[in-house]
Amino acid sequence: ISILAAKNTLHRDLVSAMKSAGGPILKDVGLIDRYEGKQIPEGKQSLTYRLEYRDPAGTLVEKDVLHVHGRVLSELEAKFGAKLR
């Protein structure tokens, strides 16, 4: 996912919130890219993360992943004012 967040938002806080909201099927969160530049509003940063979903009990279906992904995005917006880019 790619989000816009305030420059002073800490990476570790974002990852912690994503893992908490993602529950047991969100196995890993990795930062792919961080960008500040002309296309990004002043005081903001663009962050792109890789989220790995896995359920050891069985095969995940798209509906379940989308539900958890939505919770992750809602948590980022509620806690940090982050917006999907």
Residue 42: give its domain's CATH number: 3.30.70.380
pTM for the structure as a whole: 0.91
Q: How far apart are CA 69 and CA 61, in angstroms?
A: 12
Please give the tally of structural domains in the chain.
1
- Rounded mean pLDDT, 1-16: 97
Which pLDDT tens digit goes with each residue over 14-73?
A: 999 999 999 999 999 999 999 999 999 999 999 999 999 999 888 999 999 999 999 999
Q: How far apart are CA 53 and CA 24, in angstroms?
A: 9
Residue 17: give the domain boundaries.
2-84
Dihedral angle over CA of 52, 44, 10, 64, nearest 10: -30
> Are the C-beta atoms of 72 and 3 separated by less than 8 Å?
no
What confidence score (pLDDT) does residue 56 get? 84
What confidence score (pLDDT) does residue 51 get? 97
Place of tokens 């980022």: 76
What confidence score (pLDDT) does residue 69 get? 95
